[in-house]
Amino acid sequence: IAGCGVCHTDISFWHYGVKTKKELPLTLGHEISGTVIAGPGEWIGKNVIIPAVLPCGDCELCKKGRSNMCQKQLMPGNDFHGGFASHIKVPARFLCPVPDELLTKYPLEKLSVIADAISTPYQVIEKSELETGDLAIVIGVGGVGIYAALIARIFGAKVIALDIDDSKLEIAKNNGVEATLNVKDLDIKTIKSTVREIAKELGVSRYGWKIFEVSGTKAGQELGFNLLTFTSTLSIVGFTFDKTEVRLSNLMAFDAKVIGTWGCKPELYPEVVDLIASGKLNIDEFIETFPLSKINEIFRNTLKNAYQKRSVLIPDFD
């Protein structure tokens, strides 16, 4: 293993008591990059990304192109021992090769975040049918949301980032996001009005907005639903156990839709790798690395939202 990213899913298992599929004790970690040292001959020595969702490849859902929802799927750090270790044993079938040219731009350990933080928003943006000239509204521009905003721009959208943290909004603005809004002390009516004004200033349509809820909060989900306008699409990317009450008839009245997403099917990983290799998507600014031996400290700090960047842990023991 070269590196393994720290995700809030790991924190949910570690701190909040969310049950893993495999009984404890279990090594966590599902954002993994590394080098193959044993297995099929054609893979030996290759640098790879391990998909966070490993499907069977043969079931009904896999054959319909929905392999991310394979009911036999395996997830490192959930179904079997994960990536916060020096080595890991995984199926070879869906490994994603890392081209040598990409390693001249980024060390292999930093590319581990492709396995969730980048591939997850990539899949949902593609699924939302985002088109050039659309308005994309990203609610929550943290470790996953910032990539959603940047990938939406690559797809040709004008982007508004909404968050309650000025420092995260500043990072988004500095990386080309057209508009930002701190919604911390604003009611929904004011937010809707302000977003309409920004949309007008950006010269985009009042209709067909693509809204991405990435914060994983009840407030974020309520806001996302209330921002729906005619022919809009709301994509739910973040997760919360909290229940949200909405009037579903709005979907009928606006001819709008709400979609969910789960991880990213392995078939899309090469497209994500190409985005980074081509230089269209810069990831270096959003990642910081730590030795794996500091995992307890990093988890505690992540729980407290102490980091602005995605943490990647690098094995530092034999």
Same domain, yes or no, for 62 and 90?
Answer: yes
pLDDT category at 174 given cuts 50, 70, 90 is very high
Residue 257 has a CB neighbour count (10 Å cut-off) of: 13
CATH of residue 32's domain is 3.90.180.10
Question: Residue 251's pLDDT is what?
Answer: 97
Same domain, yes or no, for 157 and 244?
Answer: yes
Q: What is the pLDDT of residues 199-237, one digit of tens each?
A: 999 999 999 999 999 999 999 999 999 999 999 999 999
What are the E-state strand segments in the chain?
3-5, 31-35, 47-50, 96-97, 135-139, 158-163, 179-182, 210-213, 233-236, 257-260, 287-291, 310-314
Q: Which of 132, 149, 130, 152 is nearest to 141 (CA)?
A: 149
Same domain, yes or no, for 8 and 54?
Answer: yes
Q: What is the pLDDT of residues 5-32, one digit of tens each?
A: 999 999 999 999 999 999 999 999 999 9
Same domain, yes or no, for 138 and 238?
Answer: yes
Question: Residue 43's pLDDT is what?
Answer: 98
Same domain, yes or no, for 156 and 226?
Answer: yes
| Residue that is last in its domain, among 260, 276, 294 | 260
Same domain, yes or no, for 125 and 246?
Answer: yes
Question: Residue 114's pLDDT is what?
Answer: 98
Is the pLDDT at 128 greater than 70? The verdict is yes
Is the pLDDT at 240 greater than 70? The verdict is yes
Q: What is the pTM of this model?
A: 0.94
Same domain, yes or no, for 19 and 142?
Answer: no
What total number of domains does the chain contain?
A: 2
Residue span of the structural domain in which 37 resides: 3-116+264-314
CB 161 within 8 A of CB 169: yes
Is the pLDDT at 82 greater than 90? The verdict is yes
Which residues fall within 8 angstroms of residue 32, CB to CB, at 6 or more apart?
1, 3, 4, 5, 49, 50, 76, 82, 83, 88, 112, 115
Which residues fall within 8 angstroms of residue 152, CB to CB, at 6 or more apart?
125, 130, 136, 138, 159, 210, 212
CATH of residue 162's domain is 3.40.50.720
Determine the average pLDDT of the residues in 168-186: 97
